[in-house]
Amino acid sequence: MAAKGGLRQPYPVIEPFDQGNLKVSDLHTIYWEVSGSPNGKPVVYLHGGPGGGTSGDDRRFFDPAVYKIVVFDQRGSGKSAPHACLEDNTTWALINDIETLRNHLKIDKWVVFGGSWGSTLALAYAEMHPEVVKALCLRGIFMLRESELKWFYQDGASHIFPDIWDSYLEPIPVAERGNLMQAYHRRLTGDNQEEQIRCAKAWSKWECATAKLYMSPENIAKAEADQWAVAFARIECHYFVNKGFFDRDDWILHNLHKIKHLQCVIVQGRYDVVCPARSAWDLKKNWPSAELHIIDDAGHSATEPSIKAALIEAMDKFRDL
C-alpha cells in the first residue's frame, strides 16, 4: 500500500468492534476501544500530551487483519472522565491503568506503541512491566528530563519560532517569565476560568504550531477548541512541573537495563523541535540493539508523511513477532 514516491500509506478507516468505559479508581474512568482482528496480535496505542487524547486515525498505523488494536484515552483526556482532572493523575496511575486495561481485556502480552509523551509512558510502562511487553514502537522520544523541558518551554525552541514564542509569552507578565511552566501552572489551575482558557490556548498553540516541519493551520486550529486545549494544557503542565513524577532526572535511562532484551524501533524526525533528536540519540546510545530511524524531512508529528510511513513499516515488521 504505497503512494507516489513509495511512502507507505495508512491502513483504511475502521471502527471499533468493542468499546467501553473502565473505572480505574474511585475518581477516574477511562474510555477504551478495540478494533482490527478479535483474535489478532495485541498492540496498545499510547497517545501523546499527556492530555492529547485519541482519534480514529490512531487505529490506522496497524494492519487490521493482523492486529488486535487497543486504544484508550488517558486520565482526564478525550472521552475519559472527569475531564481535565489533575487529581490522582500521575505517571504511576497511568501505568496501573494500562495494566488494569490489559487484564480487563484478558491480554497476556502486547506490543506497545507510543509517540512523544506516549514514548515516555511506553518506556516507563515497559520498565515496570517488562514481562508483558513483546516489543516497542516509539516516535519522537521524550524522557521528561529537565533539559528537554527547558528547551521547549523556557528557552531553546524560541530561537527557531520567535514569532510563535511571543504568543506563548503574551499571557505571562514579564516578572514571571523566569519560570514559564510554573507561571502557566498557576493560571491553568487557578479559579479564573477566563484566564485558564486563554492560557490553555496559548500553551496548546505553541505546541501545535511547532509540531510539523511545515506549519499546519489545521493543526494550530486544534488549540482554539476550549475543551481540548484546557485538558491538553492543564494535564501537560501538571506533569511537567512535577517532572513526570520520576524520582530522578534520568529515571528512564537508569532503568533501561530492564527492557534491553526487547525489540524496539524508534522513529525520530530530524527537525523535531518539540522533542529534539538528542533524546532519541541518547536512548539509542544506551540501547544499542534498538533500531533508530532518523527521518530527514520531518518534525515531530506522527501525521507527517515520512514519519507515518516509517511507523507503519515498523508495525508491519512486527507482524512476524
Each as own residue / partner, the long-range contacts of residues 310-315 (CB below 8 Å, 24 or more positions apart, any chain) are 310/267, 311/61, 311/113, 311/115, 311/137, 311/139, 311/267, 312/8, 312/9, 312/10, 312/11, 312/61, 313/8, 314/137, 314/265, 314/267, 315/43, 315/61, 315/62, 315/63, 315/67, 315/111, 315/113, 315/137
pLDDT of residue 2: 44
Question: Is pLDDT above 50 for 141?
Answer: yes
Band of the pLDDT at 41, cuts 50, 70, 90?
Answer: very high
Structural domain includes residue 4: no
Domain range holding 137? 18-145+246-320
Q: Among 1-5, 6-10, 152-156, 173-177, where is mean pLDDT lowest?
A: 1-5
Co-location of 115 and 231 in the same domain: no
Last residue within a domain, chosen from 244, 277, 299 = 244
Last residue within a domain, chosen from 244, 262, 279 = 244
In whole angstroms, how large is the CA radius of gyration of the chain? Answer: 19
Band of the pLDDT at 5, cuts 50, 70, 90?
Answer: low
Co-location of 194 and 259 in the same domain: no
Last residue within a domain, chosen from 244, 267, 296 = 244
pLDDT one-digit tens code per residue, 257-279: 999 999 999 999 999 999 999 99
Q: How far apart are CA 134 and CA 270, in angstroms?
A: 27
Band of the pLDDT at 116, cuts 50, 70, 90?
Answer: very high
Provide the pairing of β-strand 67-72 with 29-36. Answer: antiparallel
Residue 142 corresponds to which cell in the numbers above? 521524550
pLDDT of residue 1: 41
Number of independent structural domains in the chain: 2
Q: How far is CA 108 from CA 45, 99, 134, 208, in A?
A: 16, 10, 10, 36
CB contact at 8 A, 136 and 123: yes
pLDDT of residue 6: 78
Of 272, 273, 208, 198, give the one whose Cα is nearest residue 234. 198
Stated pTM of the model:
0.97
pLDDT of residue 152: 98
Co-location of 141 and 208 in the same domain: no
- Residue keyed to cell 498553540: 205
Question: Is pLDDT above 60 for 286?
Answer: yes
Co-location of 54 and 113 in the same domain: yes
Mean pLDDT, the chain, integer:
96
Give the helix/strand (H/E) hosting 221: helix 217-221
CB atoms within 10 A of CB 143: 23
The set of catalytic residues is 116, 272, 300
Co-location of 159 and 108 in the same domain: no
Question: Is pLDDT above 60 for 169?
Answer: yes
CB contact at 8 A, 234 and 107: no
CB atoms within 10 A of CB 3: 10
Co-location of 159 and 290 in the same domain: no
